[in-house]
Copies of this chain bind each other. A is one copy, B any other.
Amino acid sequence: MARHIYACPLRWSDMDAFGHVNNVNFLRYLEEARIDFTFTNAGEAGEKAFSEGSVVARHEIDYLRPLVYRPEPVVIETWLTKLGNASFTVAYEIKDEDTVYVRASTVVVPYDLASARPRRLTAGERAFLAPYLEVGEPVAA
């Protein structure tokens, strides 16, 4: 069992006129964590197909605490709560050492851009993802 850890840099412009990181930009942070996990890391492990097409089918996201820009990145922990034949569900926490800002989950569907259709996970992709699977209560209640 493993968790993917991503140190996610903020941008000053992620804040909105209320002076906090805008709720939409947390979804951007989650995307960056997924890119690091399923494009960069999976690609380094020989599984490049996610980076050639994958779509989001669903997000759930709970905002627990506001976040203000600072130069230090936030930590995003990512793991799997479901590993299906044609989709998988990732859960995440965006946090500092002692504070959780966001809990969320995303259903990801591998996608063939050329045919514009969802596709099944390959055996190699499942082998890459399996160690991150944690069965239990979904993080976003």
Residues of A within 8 A of B (CB): 9, 11-13, 15-20, 22-24, 27-28, 31-32, 35-36, 39-40, 53, 55-63, 66, 69, 71, 111, 113, 116, 140
Contact = CB atoms under 8 A, between A and B. Distances in A.
A66 B60 contact: no
A42 to B, nearest CB: 12
A24 B23 contact: no
Contacts of A62: 57-58
Contacts of A116: 66
A11 B36 CA distance: 10
Nearest to A20: B55
A59 to B, nearest CB: 5
A17 B18 CA distance: 6
